Structure 1
Amino acid sequence: MTDIPTVPRRPWIVALLTAVLVLLTLTPVLPATGATEPNPETVADAPQLTLAPVGNGVVRPGETLSLSVSLTNDTAAATPAAEVVLEVGEAALADRAALTGWLTGDGSGRELTVLATGQAQPVEPGERGTTGIMVPPEDPQLAGRAPGVYALRATVASESGTLVATSVLIVPDDAVTPVPVGVVVPITAPALGEGLLSSDELLALTAPDGELTAQLEAVDGTGAILAIDPAIAAAIRVLGTSAPAGATAWLERLESLPNERFALQFGDADVAAQIDSGLAAPLAPTTLQPYLAAADFIPDAAATPTPTATPDPTPTATATPGVTPSPSPTTAPGDPVYPSLDELLTIDGARGGMYWPFTGTAGANVVSALGALNTDEGPTATLIASDTTAQGADAGTVPARGAVDAASVLVYDSATSAALQRASMTDESALRAAALTEATAQLVFAVQESDGRPLLVTLDRGDGRSRLGITTALSTVETAPGAASTGLEALLAAEPAEVSIDDASSDDARTAAVTALREDEAALADFATILDDPTVLTAPERADLLQLLGGGWLPDPAGWQTAVSEHREATTRTLGSVSIPQLTDINLVGQNVPLRIFVRNSLEWPVNVVLIAQPGDPRLLVQRATTVRAAPDSNTRVEIPVEAHVGNGEVDLRLELLSPRYLPIGASQTATVMVRADWEVIGISALSIVVVGLLTIGLVRTVRRRRAAAAEQTAGDTSTSTDTDTDTDTDTDQNGQR
């Protein structure tokens, strides 16, 4: 039960508070925003109360305390009008532990004084009502307060119980020396299952109302340290001349910002899960060449070429006498000029060797592994949350610059960062103000406990937040009492404090996903050796893998599981896209008849495979290896020479495909070959008999025809001779008569 003291100067409130006290003894206190022990039987059916001071709760001497009390009614019935009672703590909160306990508790356990009251209007179901309260600076409970952070509580009596909301009042000490505070802000795209954002996606994200535009406008003009996903820049650059104008302008504007920056992993991939899965270092893209279209990288013929510097004729110390330098390679007019992988991924001005694991995922093994990955710029640095260290486990303040054994770390304040994150994700101004007040109070205590050493906070990863949400969060850090904006290099240059890091429990689901996706990638790499250019498969696979491990999936674990499953199913289909179709029994008639086998290729590229045939009986001799180039999206027929040493019988024949490197491709097939070699002899013999018979018949007919022709000729000659004698006798008789 909350102890509410009597206030003699306001006797009319005494009766009200007495009634509230009686009500509190009869009904449970219903938690509001930030309560840690809600009654599960009532919280779902009770309105929620939020207390949000204006100006992040900071009230300097002579200023008015303005705040709002919001009642959110998610019940089925309207709430009646009720009085709002605002109370303030008599003494300042002692430390961060007391602050956290107050903000997350039920509003009890402190000496409070009534500061003001207000009237809450009825709130319909599904609506939110807000009551404004102002306390003038001359109010005796406000004037003359010493610097510190004081508890605030708002209560509303309702038919279902007493609603309670907690917050704080901050009276700053402007005499303190400002402490450098850096704030890291991610520039990331929404969750993605494909390797790169498409042109349409970029067009939407970089539109005036797009999410990437909101992020860029929010950090413009601030001292925020930018953590940029290089996959966004790569997605724009791979489009070349076909990139949307808005996306190109967005990238140019990003690169022109003066903010210090570092690059995240490609796709903001989960660093801790990769290390926990056994990788020595986080993965990176191998190439993005398959995403480049030649037509988008043809140099403008009208553009003025960059003049080539004339070589210095004077030999230098490193020149080799007598050796003519090789000329730089030139590109023929009309040929595409492709950017390199580094050119596609580079973030101008980014500090290398920075890692930002997802909050709470980096244990000692992850920090140690990342700390051993030195770069050209020196040792790497890993961002870790303060509550994962022994020094910050109990709401302690940890300076930004730290060292875990030999590993360099930047420690960001967990409580402040969490409050800033909630604020940035909230669209309702009253609810956002409550979170910003908490962040300010946490930061005020952190500054007091830092011993003047730099601090770091983050605006953690978030999807769909507005420009206003990000801007107000950043402004809260920059205007917090005792805080002075600082950059990345200044944080890294500070003297490191030794910190010890607690063991973080790895996310088993994400670690298992890394292992499974890596196994699929290895299988696909073996499969891709059948292609003229294996990277058309392997490069997108690596990019897809990293995107599936991206931070954009954190708010949607169910959607992430579905995306991973769908990707793995697609990989399985790709691995089965080149195969030998299901075989049926094969009739082999003859001793030297080739077998006809088909190779199916469902890919959009031609493939090179080796067809291996292994008979189960040595009496069937088959050409063991046959090189095949299968056309894209078709079935290619292959003829395998066969020699049968068995007259008749059945022989099992095992067929499989191998890559040119003799890696298995698809599943093997076994067919039964029914050999009928004797049929060939019988057929030839029968054919020979038929041929001989036909030749004999033809010969007989020819002889007979010739004999008949000769007989006819002989008969013709005889008849002609007789006719000649008759004619002579006739002539003689006629002459004799004459």
Structure 2
Amino acid sequence: MLMAFPSRIRALPAAVLAVGLVAGSLAATSAPVTAARAADSSEESASDPASLVVSPRDPVIRADTAELRFDVLLRNPGTEELPAGRLQLRFGSAQLADAEQLDTILPVTSPLIAEASIGAVAAGEDRTATLTVPRDDIPLGTNAAFGVHSVQASYTPGPDPDTTQDEEQDPAEGAAGAANTAKTSTADAASGAAQKADTASAVDPSDADSSEVDPSDADPSDAADTSDPGSGVLTGLTQLVTELGTPGAPPSSGVNAPTPTVSLGLIVPLVLPSDIRTLPTRRQLEELAPKWDALLTEARIRQATLAIDPRIVAGIRAYGEEAPENARALLERMSALSLPTFMLQFADADPAAQAALGYSKLLAPSSLDFVSRFGVFPAADSDSVSGTEPREQTPQDAANEDQPDLDSAATEAVPTDPAPTEDGNDPGPEPTALPTLAELLAWPTTIAAAWPAEGAVDQATLSLLESSGIRTVVLDSSNVSGNDTPRASVGATSALITDAALGDAARTAIGGATSADRNAGTARLGAMLALAAQSNSSGVLIGLDRGALGDAEDPSALLTRIGTFNWVSSSTVAALPEGKASLRAGDTLEERRELLRTAAGRETSVNELGAVLVHAEYLSGYQRTRLLELFATRFAEPEDEFAAVAAHYRERDAELLEGVRALSTEHTQLVGTSTRVPVQLHNSLPFDALVSVRVDPSSAALSLPERDFPDITVPAEANQRILVPVHSRVSSGESGLVVSVSAATGEPTVFTGTLSISIRSVVETIGLWTLGSLAALLLGFGIWRSLRRKRSSEAGQTAAHQE
């Protein structure tokens, strides 16, 4: 008899550390802000300051514009409530001369165009107000010249004597994230301007074209009322582009001067969202294909250059005929487009980081069979493609297939083997082999280019790329010097140079946390392009942010908005001007570099466990794909907190390194001389394992008639039990079973551990004697009682007969 007391369950913590992605691009979309209180010098009381973001719904004032709507976002990341206050909008009548003036605080003489109250903002919450400004309240004439103007929002805490109870907005709405709309009428704005007339000489709208104040000439003290730390005033800036006349009309027409234009080249990345850590599932492909299709349409209109993550191409091809129909159609359209394209490194891995680690060649995937085994290919049936015997599909198969995060402990396995046909017969002709890695990745690129992380390229990066046959590189403008053209020769390398400032604005426009943030980024981008057009720029190049575009709900939205800017002329990259430049060496962050080095060092240890799998190449291909994704450029920015990402990766590695092992129990008690002890095996790997198990006694107190258990199949991330015959040689004592788990061939051994067993044979002997005695007594008592009843019955019958 065996009495087993299972061990206390030890939960494997999947500690997903929340990555707080602070909107670092806020500085690029609003002026510097001041907190309501002076910051405490102690770290305990320090908190992020409150900030104000203002953005127009449409950043262009056109001839037919009737009104403008501005969203003002008051953000309170601190630990204390922000009080209710007053919002004011001021218009910068003077045109901006260059991009350096985009963040210049407006003087107090700037016309007030709208104001409204805003409710209190709870700690950690945001509140949004929408202010509507009639076109007539903007102090610009109908024939104002094309140009860029600033709009400044300010928040002043405290009660407003002119605010009635009805105007106050419910703070709970801000806590719930709902927008609080405060519309100001023409009369409100006019009266507000009149109230300021005695202290601020607002520009008369009728004289706006001739009486302009240059913000650069303003006394810095003039801005004290709108950005005073002591008063708790917060400010934010946005921009409007005026396009009031008839675009393209000649100056002699008297209508308006022609709208200047700037040639804009775009590099549009086609990448996977950040929550896909290996390759996409079929459901993910089906959901993403329409977004990618819309992005391709806009990219074609804008004559953009495509930068494609090979995981998209390989991910669709890996499922063959099982890939979603819209994904296969997308792949055909991509190959038919006449746009220039180049392939990013697999998973958009960063060449600069690899060069920083001293790699002599670029990392590449080793195998994608761990996904393509589920594909159906011409002249191949699903069972043979998987390389396994037909089996029924389980509910867990479907769960794995639709799981959006392939890097979690419980669901990282890709979709399991397809089910056989209903009748179980061979469904088709002789199967073909799985597609090779080269077949999955093949693509007719027109440019052999690489796109390292922005600002991180040094000469080692260029040398690594050159040794890999890549002589065109996309560089951030901060990574070069002595250049003002979008294309340049940097030594022997041809460089496509993206504008860093434009890229920052575009990143916010795509990936801002709220619609107000995104609109602010769009407004800033439009203003910068307008300033470039006014300065007769020969052309600019923008590389859209890969991380932001991959995670965007509508990745094509920004390209659509750019198409409405009449001062932007789309251009192919090849048509942009070319010059010469010098490399300004960048670097990979030291923390990121060391974390990547450590993660790469664990790859060999994980791959060694593939020996216990039915298909060892599944694990090596899977692990390399994970590692390449960890190298992704989206993690290169300092504010991305790469340590948290690497910690999650390390936790998953720790789970994989557990391999196949025997689960121990706290106490197993053997109460007989002979029994079968269950040994529970657990497979932590995401693929089926085939192992051999050897069980030996840890002392002479136990003997095992059978010690070897070959060819034990342990399903992926599941348990399997084997029964080990055990004989005890002593009546009581402590002993154990030494369990070794190895590959089916015998090497390597991946686990050795001892399962403790307490022997209590004497308990069985006493128990048997006790039970036997009780049984004998009960039997004797029953016999005696039966005889007594029989005798009583016979005596009764005799007496009755005698009577």
**Which bin holds the TM-score, normalised by the shorter protein?**
0.5 to 0.7
Range with greater deviation from structure 2 (288-297 or 381-390): 288-297
Does structure 2 conserve the Cα–Cα contact (< 8 Å) formed by 1:655 and 1:670? yes
Residues in 2 aligned to 1:179 and 1:162: alpha-carbon distance in whole angstroms: 34
- Write the distance in 2 (CA, Å) between the matches of 1:40 and 1:247: 49
Q: Unpaired segments of 5 or more residues in structure 2?
A: 1-25, 39-48, 75-81, 120-127, 146-205, 252-256, 382-426, 671-675, 727-733, 760-803
- Cα deviations across residues 588-630 of structure 1 (Å, max 9, x unaligned)? xxxxxxx99969463663435586989999xxxx9xx989433
Q: Kindly indicate whether the alpha-carbon contact (under 8 Å) linking 1:386 and 1:398 is maintained by their aligned counterparts in 2.
A: no
Q: TM-score, normalised by structure 2?
A: 0.57
Summarize the alignment of residues 692-731 of structure 1 with structure 2, pairs less than 5 Å apart: none
Q: Secondary structure at the match of 2:269?
A: strand
In structure 1, which of residues 526, 529, 536 is the aligned counterpart of residue 618 of structure 2?
536
**What do the CA deviations read for 1:551-597 (whole angstroms, capped 9, x no partner)?**
5667997897656544433433333232356599999xxxxxxx999
Q: Secondary structure at the match of 1:255?
A: helix
1:191 deviates by: 0.7
In the alignment, is the contact (CA less than 8 A) between 1:87 and 1:152 conserved in 2?
Answer: no
1:471 to 555, 559, 562: 559
Give the aligned partner of residue 400 of structure 1.
Answer: 487
Between the two structures, name the one with larger relative contact order (CA 8 Å, sep ≥ 6): 2
Say which one has the larger Rg: 1
- State the partner residue of 1:630: 712
- Aligned equivalent of 2:571, options 482, 485, 491: 485
Query: 1: CA distance between counterparts of 2:361 and 2:30?
Result: 41
Report how many residues are paired. 564
Q: 1:290 & 1:71 partners in 2: Cα distance?
A: 48
Could you tell which deviates more after superposition, 234-243 or 289-298? Answer: 289-298
CA offset at residue 539 of structure 1? 1.5
The 1:264/1:151 distance shift into structure 2, 3 A limit, reads farther
1:413 aligns with 2:499: yes
Provide the C-alpha distance between the structure 1 equivalents of 2:286 and 2:494, rounded to a whole number of angstroms.
39
Q: Secondary structure at the match of 1:287?
A: coil
Alignment partner, residue 750 of structure 2? 665
Find the counterpart in structure 2 of residue 101 from structure 1: 100
Cα distance in structure 1, aligned partners of 2:531 and 2:555 = 23
Aligned residue runs from structure 1 range 525-604, under 5 A: 525-551=607-633, 564-579=646-661, 600=681, 602=683
Report the RMSD for the aligned CA atoms in angstroms: 5.5
Return the alpha-carbon distance in structure 2 between the equivalents of residues 194 and 354 of structure 1: 24
Q: 2:36 pairs with 29, 36, 41, which one?
A: 41
Tell me how far 1:360 sits from its aligned partner. Answer: 2.6
Q: Against the structure 1 CA distance between its residues 85 and 407, is the aligned structure 2 distance closer, same or farther, given a 3 Å change threshold?
A: closer
Structure 1 residues 144 and 119: alpha-carbon distance in aligned structure 2, compared to 1, 3 A threshold: closer
Q: Name the residue aligned to 2:436.
A: 340
Partner in structure 2 of residue 380 of structure 1: 471
Which of 74, 93, 108 matches 1:87? 93
- Asked if the contact 2:589–2:638 (Cα under 8 Å) also holds between the matched residues in 1, the reply is no
Distance 2:429 2:100 in 1: 71
Q: Is the 8 A contact 2:457 2:585 kept in 1?
A: no
* Bigger mean CA deviation after superposition, 45-54 or 428-437: 45-54
Return the offset for 1:442: 5.3
Structure 1 unmatched runs, 5+:
1-30, 94-98, 302-330, 588-594, 641-649, 675-738
Counterpart Cα distance in 1 of 2:143 and 2:242: 14
Q: Spell out, residue by residue over 1:263-315, the C-alpha distance to the aligned partner (whole angstroms, 9 max, x if none).
A: 112222333333333333332221111212467225389xxxxxxxxxxxxxx
* Change in CA separation of 1:366 and 1:170 when aligned onto 2, cut-off 3 Å: farther
Question: Which residue of 2 is the match for residue 519 of structure 1?
Answer: 601
Residue 409 of structure 1, CA deviation: 2.7
Letter matched to residue 487 of structure 2: A
Shift in CA distance, 477/578, structure 1 to aligned 2, threshold 3 Å: same
Q: TM-score, normalised by structure 1?
A: 0.61
Cα distance change of structure 1 residues 287 and 559 upon mapping to structure 2, 3 Å threshold? same
Deviation at 1:413, TM superposition (A): 1.5
What secondary structure sits across from 2:34 in the alignment? coil
Question: What is the match of residue 142 of structure 2?
Answer: 136
SS in structure 2 at match of 1:247: helix
CA deviations on 1:410-460 (whole Å, 9 max, x unpaired) are 221112222233334464586355223333145337853xxx5x6532122
- Whether 2:360 is the aligned partner of 1:365: answer no
SS of corresponding position for 1:368: helix
Residue pair 1:84, 1:156 contacting (<8 A) in 2 also = no
Change (3 A) 1:247 1:637: same
The partner residue of 2:116 within 117, 122, 138 is 122
| Structure 2 counterpart of 1:397, one-letter code | D
Would the alpha carbon gap of residues 531 and 41 (structure 1) be closer, same or farther in structure 2, given more than 3 Å must change? same
Structure-2 separation of matches of 1:166 and 1:152: 20
Give 1:136-215 correspondences, 5 Å limit. Answer: 136-137=142-143, 165=237, 167=239, 181-207=264-290, 211-215=291-295
Q: Name whichever of 229-238 and 335-344 sits farther off.
A: 335-344
**For the Cα contact (< 8 Å) 1:616–1:654, is it kept in 2?**
no
Following TM superposition, by how much is the alpha carbon of 1:501 offset from its aligned partner in structure 2, in angstroms? 1.8
Structure 1 residues 250 and 518, CA gap change in structure 2 (3 angstroms): same
Preserved contact between residue 262 and residue 350 of structure 1 (Cα < 8 Å): yes
Task: Compute the displacement of 1:542 (Å).
Answer: 1.8
Q: Structure 1's 670 and 280: CA in aligned 2 closer, same or farther, altered over 3 A?
A: farther
Closer, same or farther in 2 for the Cα pair 1:586/1:385, shift >3 Å?
same
Letter in 1 for 2:472: A
- Between the aligned partners of 1:475 and 1:485, the Cα distance in structure 2 is 12
How far apart are the structure 2 equivalents of 1:168 and 1:141? 19
Partner of 2:690 in structure 1? 607
Partner of 1:697: none
Shift of 1:103: 1.0
Match of 2:480 in 1: 389
> Any idea what the Cα deviations from partners look like across 1:456-494, whole Å, max 9, x if unmatched?
3212221215256322454378842xx561235x67xx8
Cα displacement string for residues 501-557 of structure 1 (whole angstroms, at most 9, x for unaligned residues): 23324252x333422332332112111123342012221222223234445667997
Q: Residue 527 of structure 2 corresponds to which residue in structure 1? A: 438
| Cα distance between partner residues in 1 of 2:587 and 2:564 | 30
Secondary structure of 2:481 counterpart:
coil
**Secondary structure class of the residue paired with 2:265:** strand
CA gap 1:136/1:571 in 2 versus in 1, 3 angstroms: same
User: Any idea what the Cα deviations from partners look like across 1:202-260, whole Å, max 9, x if unmatched?
Assistant: 222234xxx43442343242201111112122222222222222222232333332211
Picking from 503, 524, 541, the partner of 2:586 is: 503
- Tell whether the 8 Å contact from 1:184 to 1:224 is kept in structure 2 after alignment: yes
Structure 1 residues 54, 560: CA separation in 2 closer, same or farther (over 3 Å shift)?
closer
CA distance in 2, matches of 1:586, 1:187: 60
Distance in structure 2 (CA, Å) of the matches to 1:616 and 1:399: 77
Matched, 1:257 2:350: no
Change (3 A) 1:155 1:166: farther
- Pick closer, same or farther for the CA change 1:407–1:506 going to 2, 3 Å: farther
- Look up the match of 2:544: 459
- Quick one: which amino acid aligns to residue 282 of structure 1? L
Q: Aligned equivalents of 2:503 and 2:340: distance in 1? A: 19
Q: 1:251 to 1:667 in 2, by over 3 A?
A: same
Q: Distance in 1 between matches of 2:217 and 2:510?
A: 23
Q: 1:419, 1:438 within 8 Å by CA — same for their partners in 2?
A: no
